[in-house]
Structure 1
Amino acid sequence: MPKTDPIVGQYIYLTIDDIEYRVYYEEAGQGIPLLVGHTAGSDGRQYRHLLCDPEVTKHFRVIAFDLPYHGKSLPPHGVEWWTQEYNMTKSFMLDFPNTLARELELDRPVYLGSSMGGHLAVDLASKHPDNYRATIAVEGALRSAAEYVDVGMAGIRKEFDNPNVSRNSIGAAMMLNISPYTPEANAREIQWEYMCGGPGIFAGDLYYYYYDHNVSAEEARVIDTSKCMLYLLTGEYDPNTSPAETQQLADLVEGAKFWAMDKLGHFPVTEDYPKFREYLLPILQEIREKSQATAEPGLQTAASTH
């Protein structure tokens, strides 16, 4: 028998703001739905190790999607996207997982995202707590550091979106965000994924990452973790979102739980998945226990037998 992964991939059509998108996603496992969102400029391949982890998939239906324009999700057909400047907005970032969950008929899924996707975990807990039983922000914060905020989108596009910047250069730039403890093969995999990105997509994603995601202290204080639990995980060696910055968010959100991840950087899921899962598995176990405790008696009994 050939060696295979327990992953199934397919396309789904989602309509957001009157535009139909053909979206690719992969999934594995069964149980509580777990949506996983990728970093800016990359795609769902970042979660291949998570999708193949039997300790996760025996209790969770893990769904890794490629946002439109990313990975196998092409730009929308019928739209002259090549005549428009691509910018990822907070509105679209919020609408996308909500629409995907609705079309897949998911019952209050868990959402886990990294970097740009980690910021989204915070925004979902803030704006749509009734839709999710928990969100897990990996490298999330109130907002991104002011390094690029001050230079504006023109400066970002000059650095990451011009004819003199190759995909190889963007891939090389990502190496600066990786923990020095990351095995080289894993670091090269992250670099490869970024070299595969479409022109202008990484720069456009940074519009959400640096500008549209901006949670005030007042907004953070009213996040209701009794409705949607917020978990926070940040790598010790992340130069973009430091543990101290994530701690600022955790201190404002009553009930939120935060762990700084030893020896990990900005891409912990891919940098060292065995290390990352040491932090993830206890969170998933807690989510399972809470879900069972709030289930109907008959469902709780059935769930406890699996």
Structure 2
Amino acid sequence: MMHQVTVPGGQLAVEVHAGDTAPVLAIHGVSSNARLWNWLRAEDPGIAVVAPDLRGRAGSVSVGMPSSLARHASDLVAVLDHLELDRATVCGMSMGGFVAVELANSYPDRVAGLVLIDGGFPMPNPGLSPEMIRAAFAAQASRADQYFADGAAYRDYFLSGPTLLDGDDPLLLDYLEHDLADHRVRLDAEVMLADASETLLTPPDWTKIIQPTRLVYAEWSVGADSAPAYTPEKIAEYAKQLSWLQHSELIPGADHAATIMTRRGAAVVADNLRAIL
């Protein structure tokens, strides 16, 4: 079921999928959309999922700047209020993991637990600057200015770089088509860049987490053998500092996207959600 939730600047599009569990508030990544959770729902349709398009993306593209992790957290509280949910388990992927941490820190009574997917904990960024981030995300930002004849054309573009995703996967096509309207990708580039900069340069303080937390992370970042966002050694260091980190799980042979955009990755996420719900 689709809901429209009023937030400062407009309305967020929110997909709500019933299940046999307590609700999971599922937060997508920096240039993604609510259909990122297609694979989770296919793998475990019993998990009840509340999946918003964050401001500046897809069905919420008209809700733009100013954007920040705190603003996203406030938007998500509005989603919970709209659905009359006192609290939810929160699952965030990539930037969505950092939004989840911000939400847990700022509104601790609204968050029952956290499942973080390749995000939420600081990523190595020596010498990184806003200008470097803008350059790194230039290709993603440029999608909004391009014309795509159909979802298949957008899929070909999307898969043109290193990837472990299946181009024939109908869930991938549905995910990508959700981005499109009138042959254009619905993405506010300035919102995306603002969110990326904050995520990488001034992430929320993960040491303040007081909710039960589980982490799923990838062996690689983009494609096989690429440098990962997290290593087992770094996660072990974080675990020593955060008693609430109940479990961390590396998905071998998976990159950042494949942690959730494949059935194998989604199965690991589903298992971790079931363990915390």
Alignment TM-score > 0.5, same fold: yes
Please tell me whether the aligned partners of residues 40 and 269 of structure 2 are also in contact (alpha carbons under 8 angstroms). no
Change (3 A) 1:201 1:223: same
Change (3 A) 1:38 1:148: farther
CA distance in 1, matches of 2:15, 2:142: 30
| Distance apart, 1:212 and its partner CA | 4.7
| Distance apart, 1:123 and its partner CA | 2.3
The RMSD of aligned alpha carbons is: 3.6
| Partner of residue 257 from structure 2, selected from 263, 267, 275 | 267
| Partner of residue 221 from structure 1, selected from 207, 217, 221 | 207
Counterpart check, 1:139 vs 2:113: no
- TM-score, length basis structure 1: 0.69
Please tell me whether the aligned partners of residues 144 and 241 of structure 1 are also in contact (alpha carbons under 8 angstroms). no
Please tell me whether the aligned partners of residues 44 and 66 of structure 1 are also in contact (alpha carbons under 8 angstroms). yes
Counterpart check, 1:279 vs 2:276: no
2:167 is aligned to 184
| Partner of residue 231 from structure 1, selected from 196, 214, 218 | 214
How is 1:92-241 mapped onto 2 (pairs within 5 angstroms)?
Answer: 92-146=71-125, 149-152=128-131, 155=135, 159-161=139-141, 166=146, 172=157, 176=161, 178-179=163-164, 182-186=165-169, 189=173, 192=176, 196=180, 198=185, 201-202=188-189, 204-212=191-199, 214-215=202-203, 219-224=205-210, 228-239=211-222
CA distance in 2, matches of 1:234, 1:10: 30
Q: How many residues align?
A: 259
Counterpart of 1:201 in structure 2: which amino acid?
A: D
1:67 is aligned to 54
Counterpart of 1:11 in structure 2: which amino acid?
A: H
Counterpart of 1:286 in structure 2: which amino acid?
A: A
Please tell me whether the aligned partners of residues 40 and 202 of structure 1 are also in contact (alpha carbons under 8 angstroms). no
In structure 2, the gaps of 5 or more residues are none
Please tell me whether the aligned partners of residues 145 and 241 of structure 1 are also in contact (alpha carbons under 8 angstroms). no
2:244 is aligned to 255
After superposition, the C-alpha distances for 1:153-205 in whole angstroms (9 at most, x for unaligned) are 654575554699636799746654633xx333249649945973646525532
Higher relative contact order (CA 8 A, sep 6+): 2
In structure 1, the gaps of 5 or more residues are 1-8, 289-306
Please tell me whether the aligned partners of residues 149 and 210 of structure 1 are also in contact (alpha carbons under 8 angstroms). no
1:5 is aligned to none
CA distance in 1, matches of 2:58, 2:159: 17
Identical-residue share of aligned pairs (%): 15
| Distance apart, 1:241 and its partner CA | 5.3
